Amino acid sequence: MPETDRAVVETATYWGERQLGKGIVYAHDRPNFIANRIGSYGFRRAVHLMLDLGLTIEDVDELTGPLIGRPRSATFRTTDLVGLDTAIAVSENSYRNLSDDPERDVFIVPDLFREMARRGWLGEKSGSGFYKRVDGEIYALDHRTMEYRPRQKPKLSSIEAARLIEDPAKRLRQILSAPDKAGQFLWQLTSSILSYAAKRVPEIADDVVNVDRAMKWGFAWDAGPFETWDLLGVAELATRLEGEGREVPDLVRSVLTQGEGRFYRKRNGADEFFDVATRKYASVPERPNVVLLPKLKEQGRTVAANPGASLLDLGDGIACLEFHSKMNTLGEDTLRMIHRSLDEVRKGFDGLVIGNHGPEFSAGANLVLMLMEAQEGNWDDIAMVLRQFQRLNLTIRYFEKPVVAAPFGRTLAGGCEICLPCARVQAAAETYMGLVETGMGLIPAGGGTTEMVRRAVLRVPAGVDADVFPMVRFAFETIALAKVSMSAEEAFGLGYLREGDGISMNGDHLLADAKEVCRTLMRSGFRPPLRQTFKTAGERGLAAIEAYLYLMKSAGQISEHDAHVSARLAYVACGGRVPYGTDVSEEYMHDLEREAFISLLGHPRTQERIRHFLQTGRPLRN
């Protein structure tokens, strides 16, 4: 409310952003505020359209998920997670308290929902909702018969064609213009939501920025309603609405007549939005402690770039290495840019942050290229790339200036390995970190196995005569079982993060936090660690693990190839067949890593695993 003390607002904002890690939006005191108002409206419209067009629940979820920039859980899977009773309560609250809303009837709870609630089909909490699991298989509700049946793949011709289009604007335009049911459904749904949002400002919020942020942060949309208006073309959408005899919102007409035909524009390098109150453009409010790499690129702060990665100037003497390949997989382009970045930092910066804005930090190596090289027998080339990656990671570990990794989301395999040698890691709270190579029939060979063993063994203080095998076994099991942290906090327990590493509760603050960590290290007189050897478990440890693997295989708990992969991993983790307690160097361990990796990559069952994963997205147990 306008009379609220500004200091109270600022305190609550700081607490919400820094402690809870949430984006803050400013809404008016209206029923269901912003996101639930628009989101529940869109949900009800989707249900009405499904019934009118004769679509299935699977069809709707296929159409309202990643295809149009929405979460994978889409419409009905999301409702199962939230709970149908909650969805009904939101609808009833909207209908009861929005007597002045011309589209109030959209919020009337459908008979389908009432019947499901009567039967207790509320979603995950009750075991049945729009979907349920039967003997390990997912069944979907047939809303026409009110019976569950095995989930069916949608048969909508325009979907497959749209999937081939990477540009989100082109993909959405194509599917909205498709003449089949998919196109009809999405056009009616999208145009209704966009129009509804435009009619609700300034009722629910002062500006379009808070509406867009609410939908992106609250419902995980890739683009908010007004960003989508711009994406599709405000004039084009308005013309199509008029052609169908539908109302064009006043706000949209104002943008077309008093603005530049867009809700957002760039002016002198700054982002501006069309202000509802003044009917002029105003600056988008800056969010403190948020670094936007695309904005830095627009300002000409790219130092170097290639197809796999870029080096940007973050300011204050800190550079940022950004991955931007598909899923940020690591290929030769990325490795070249890592090398170039270290050279540039050595010459003209005080430190380096490794981070990006992609959907994942990095999913690891490019499996497609790796499999192709293996099938063509290019073993020398594979060994050369592995050696290059190992040396780069060693360079990072002993680099004279601080290197800070800023992982988030999936940080797997090579993506995890690039973090391990960094001076510090500043991780997002939601970081899923792990060395998962054994699932593909391989072992970590970019220095990951070596670093995990080194960290484990060096937990024993210098001069203390203690058995290192339990530490080696811990590192071995973490890698062999492909353990992935379910959060950054859990990554500490698995050994992927160490004392001194940090967590950013708000992912939007991650790069700024990592930059500050880098600056703090430099100001405090950063010195790289000294090179040192470490003890191995040798033949004694290897024999113990091999006996354990034999028992596991004999009991049918692991497959023959699992045992083979784990045995090669054990050989590396124990330092080979050397006497117990032998001191080894990282370079020695790296040689073992490469040899084991190449041997496993040449194995038919490993190649079968990789092919199966590339084709299905699921691991193969062979």
Residues 6+ apart with CB under 8 A from 563: 549, 550, 552, 553
Is there a domain that residue 168 lies in? yes
The answer to whether the beta carbons of residues 354 and 404 sit under 8 Å apart is yes
Rg over CA atoms, the chain: 27
Same domain for 327 and 277? no
Same domain for 466 and 415? yes
Q: Which element (helix H / strand E) includes 112? A: helix 111-118
Write the CATH number for 36.
1.10.1040.50
Is there a domain that residue 120 lies in? yes
* Percent of the chain that is helix, strand, coil (3-state, to 5): 50, 10, 35
Same domain for 370 and 497? yes
Same domain for 199 and 163? yes
Same domain for 257 and 360? no
DSSP state for residue 29 in the 8-state scheme: S
122: left (phi over 0), alpha (psi -120 to 50) or beta: alpha
Model confidence over 112-130: pLDDT tens digits?
Answer: 999 999 999 999 999 999 9
Same domain for 350 and 250? no
Instruction: Quote the pLDDT of residue 250.
Output: 97
Is there a domain that residue 611 lies in? no
360: left (phi over 0), alpha (psi -120 to 50) or beta: beta
- CA pair distance 241, 245, nearest whole angstrom: 6
Segments of the chain with pLDDT less than 70: 1
Is there a domain that residue 411 lies in? yes
Residues 6+ apart with CB under 8 A from 128: 120, 121, 122, 148
Same domain for 297 and 268? no
- Measuring CA to CA, how many Å separate 383 from each of 302, 397, 446, 570, 599? 32, 21, 11, 20, 11
| Residue 266 structure tokens | 């760039």
- CA pair distance 86, 75, nearest whole angstrom: 14
Compute the half-sphere exposure of residue 272: CA atoms within 13 Å on the CB side of its CA: 15
- Concatenating the DSSP letter of every residue in 120-177 gives T--BGGGTBSSEEEETTEEEEEETTTTEEEE------HHHHHHHT--SHHHHHHHHHT
- CA pair distance 60, 75, nearest whole angstrom: 7
Length of the chain (residues):
622
Q: How many CB atoms lie within 10 A of CB 463?
A: 5
Write the CATH number for 428.
3.90.226.10
What is the total count of domains within the chain? 2
Is there a domain that residue 424 lies in? yes
Is there a domain that residue 18 lies in? no
Task: Determine the structural domain holding residue 368 and report its residue range.
Answer: 293-529
By CB neighbour count within 10 A (0-12 exposed, 13-18 middle, 19+ buried), where does 134 fall?
exposed
Quote the Cα angle for 445-446-451, to 5°.
90
Final residue in a domain of this structure, among 283, 306, 336: 283
- CA pair distance 351, 522, nearest whole angstrom: 7
The answer to whether the beta carbons of residues 366 and 329 sit under 8 Å apart is yes
- CA pair distance 547, 264, nearest whole angstrom: 65
- Please state whether the predicted TM-score (pTM) of the whole model is above 0.85: yes
Same domain for 471 and 332? yes
Final residue in a domain of this structure, among 283, 313, 333: 283
Same domain for 271 and 300? no
State CA 243 to chain mean position distance. 40
Is there a domain that residue 66 lies in? yes
- Concatenating the DSSP letter of every residue in 324-346 gives -SGGG-B-HHHHHHHHHHHHHHH
Instruction: Quote the pLDDT of residue 1.
Output: 60
Bridge partners of 319, per DSSP, are: 313, 352
Final residue in a domain of this structure, among 529, 564, 586: 529
Is there a domain that residue 32 lies in? yes
- CA pair distance 402, 351, nearest whole angstrom: 5
- Measuring CA to CA, how many Å separate 428 from each of 357, 385, 416, 486, 512? 12, 29, 14, 12, 12
Same domain for 462 and 324? yes
- CA pair distance 435, 164, nearest whole angstrom: 31
Same domain for 159 and 98? yes
Same domain for 408 and 503? yes
Instruction: Quote the pLDDT of residue 471.
Output: 95
